[in-house]
Amino acid sequence: MQKIYIESAGGYEKLKLVTCNDPSLIKGEVLIDVSYAGINYADCLVRIGVYASAKKYVGWPITPGFEVSGTVTAVGEGVTNFKAGDKVMAFTRFNGYSSKISIPACQVMPLPESFTLEQGACFPAVYMTAYYSMLQIFYLPPDANILVHSAAGGVGSALVSLAKDKGYKVSGVVGRSQKIQHVLDLGADHVYDKSDPKFNWAQVQKDNLLGFDAVFDANGYTTIQSSFDLLRPTGKLVIYGSHSLIPKSGGKLNYFKAIWGLLKTPKFDPMKMISENKSIICFNVSFLFEEQRLLAQNMQGLLELIKKGDLIPPKVKSFPIEQVAEAHKLIESGNSIGKLALKF
């Protein structure tokens, strides 16, 4: 089998395609011949060496990858819901950039009939993140008004799509005008373009006088304060990333930029927040794989939505596995729209 192997933290040159032994099948696991591996921004953080759960659960060397699609070739003892030949999609805690992978059956879902294998590889991690952050952590009223940052990206697109299925009013924020149409196609009611010289947060506030019920923000220090200020009383700021700390080119950590960003990250006063009735919620799903009940509810909820035809399959651009560095460069640049995948 082949996999992407990263021996130590660094730039694109660290992404090596190697040949190695096939994984052995373990009790309760499913062996998958991988067709596509979905790419997530977090894979770049893993490569750069700043992803906390990669340090906690794997260390070096590491094979990144949070989601795959493919065909089951064998099932381990005790697995009754899959058999050889089944087309599946699955989320993985690392190792997704592998042509064969053995993973616990509870992380595997049947590939929906309406999905191609390419789309299936780009669904589990981003939709699981979006579903958890919007529908499992807290309650949103049926007429909720929400704001989604990086709305044309992987998680952002999933958030917009899920929110529209729920009937919420959705405003998206994008960093490039080329992304606006994609977000409108997902059903967003309005899209703000940060690259427009006329864009400012005061205008967003004017357009949404009551404030937002929830704002979803993975930018970090550049927008957290504005996002918080835009909440209405009872509103929630959901923070799930901090990509502004990372350069958009070069592939390496700029320590000065990162420290500057951390110093500029706003601090919130809980006593003031009590009176304002605003909350901040922070999470990282890669630390939650042991929460089996949560995982099962999340997967079941998503599969039901797909069955009803309520979710738009992700828009995907694929790269051959040999071009993994190009794919990392593209997602790091901030120019990608929808999802990227690697084809084995």
Contacts with ligand NAP by CB under 6 A lie at 40-42, 126, 129, 149-150, 152-156, 174-176, 179, 218-219, 240-241, 243-244, 246, 248, 283-286, 331-332, 334, 336
Q: Is the CB of residue 329 less than 8 Å from the CB of residue 131?
A: no
| Smallest distance, ligand NAP to C-beta of residue 6, A | 17
Beta strands at 169-174 and 145-148: parallel, antiparallel or unpaired:
parallel
What is the distance between the alpha carbons of residues 56 and 67, in angstroms, rounded to a whole number?
19
Beta strands at 108-110 and 87-91: parallel, antiparallel or unpaired:
antiparallel
Complex with ligand NAP: residue 109 or 246, whichever CB lies closer: 246
**Residue 296 DSSP code:** H
Q: Which residue in 227, 337, 225, 317 sits closest to 36, CA to CA? A: 317
**Residue 147 structure tokens:** 């704001």
| Smallest distance, ligand NAP to C-beta of residue 245, A | 7
Q: Which residue in 39, 43, 97, 107 sits closest to 72, CA to CA? A: 107
| Smallest distance, ligand NAP to C-beta of residue 190, A | 15
Residues 247, 182, 225, 39, CA torsion sign: negative
Q: Is the CB of residue 15 less than 8 Å from the CB of residue 75?
A: no
**Residue 294 DSSP code:** H
Distance spanning both ends of the chain, measured CA to CA? 10
Complex with ligand NAP: residue 226 or 336, whichever CB lies closer: 336
Sheet containing 212-217, strands listed edge to edge, beginning at the edge strand earlier in sequence: 190-193, 169-174, 145-148, 212-217, 231-239, 279-282
| Smallest distance, ligand NAP to C-beta of residue 154, A | 3
Complex with ligand NAP: residue 72 or 215, whichever CB lies closer: 215
| Smallest distance, ligand NAP to C-beta of residue 234, A | 23
Q: Count the helix, strand and coil residues of the chain and give each as a percent rounded to the nearest 5.
A: 35, 25, 40
Complex with ligand NAP: residue 23 or 187, whichever CB lies closer: 187
| Smallest distance, ligand NAP to C-beta of residue 45, A | 6
| Smallest distance, ligand NAP to C-beta of residue 283, A | 6
Complex with ligand NAP: residue 175 or 235, whichever CB lies closer: 175
| Smallest distance, ligand NAP to C-beta of residue 287, A | 8
In the block, which residue shows the tokens 């906690």?
A: 56
Residue whose Cβ sits closest to ligand NAP: 153
> 270 preceded by cis ω (within 30°)?
no
Q: Is the CB of residue 34 less than 8 Å from the CB of residue 118?
A: no
Q: Which residue in 163, 153, 154, 106 sits closest to 131, CA to CA? A: 163
Complex with ligand NAP: residue 63 or 336, whichever CB lies closer: 336
Complex with ligand NAP: residue 55 or 71, whichever CB lies closer: 55
In a 3-state reduction of DSSP, which class is residue 4? Answer: strand
**Residue 58 structure tokens:** 């794997």
Complex with ligand NAP: residue 18 or 52, whichever CB lies closer: 52
| Smallest distance, ligand NAP to C-beta of residue 29, A | 23
Complex with ligand NAP: residue 42 or 88, whichever CB lies closer: 42
